[in-house]
Amino acid sequence: MSQTPTPATAPAGEAPPRLATAWLFPALSAVWHRELLLFRRYWLATTFGSLVEPLIYMAGFGLGFGALIDAVDGHSYLEFIGTGMVVTSVLFSSAFAGMFESYNRRRYQRIYDSILSQPVSVSELVTAEASWIAVKSAVYGTAPLLVTLAIGLDWTPQLLLVPLISLLAGFAFGVFGMWVSCLVPAMDWLRLVVSGVLTPLVMAAGVFFPLGSLPGWVSVAGLANPIQHCAELVRHASFGTLGLADLGHTAALLVFGAASWLLAVRGMNRRLID
């Protein structure tokens, strides 16, 4: 019986080498197929919360404080808060998915065990899951931006970069959430991370009010706050004021995302393999 030829013959006991450009796609396509099938069932619940909650905050803060604040950095407060809601929409839709959904799938549903029973590595699994989270959160982040455009934000070509920034930030926050899910002994501890870590970082990131109104030490500490870097990038792209300083914000997000990915892979290895 004839056998299908293989590109290369590997030594006994070793897996055949794979092309560097093909190492991820099988796992990514399988995970995305599963996610799309599940998303067809629960899309209304997740989409409603991810889209409507930022718009409620936008209306509350914008209409409330907007009557008291004439302008922030030359823009109306509604435009300022609308671009900030892009950041919170991306952050919470990605970090929550990374923390709660990955914990549930690893601990209770044992989905990750089933995936790893196939020729899929932990790094492939983490990357595929985070890529789905990133795309979904980037889509959710466009809703506040579209509303801000409808209420008067001027169109600039740099606005087209906001979804790309959201995609990068969504991936970084997603793998951060996956790493955190490997640290806690029970799911309820993740609520502590939300209240004790994410919420204070959002408040210090200039999402709801300009950083100039905060004490100087908060601005200095903000250099280590990835949410602040995301907020600066989104606002500068939305207002058409991107400059050389934004290369630093982009580099900070890339470093944060890479470090979180390494930690997530290590954490998942420890929980699933070791």
Q: Which amino acid is at 138?
A: A
Tens digits of per-residue pLDDT, 215-251?
Answer: 767 667 778 899 999 999 999 999 999 999 999 999 9
Tens digits of per-residue pLDDT, 150-209?
Answer: 888 899 999 999 999 999 999 999 999 999 999 999 999 999 999 999 999 998 898 888
List the single range of 51-55, 100-104, 134-138, 190-194 with lowest mean pLDDT: 51-55
pLDDT the model gives residue 274: 64
pLDDT the model gives residue 261: 97
pLDDT the model gives residue 90: 95
Q: How far is CA 24 from CA 126, 207, 263, 271, in A?
A: 10, 35, 19, 21
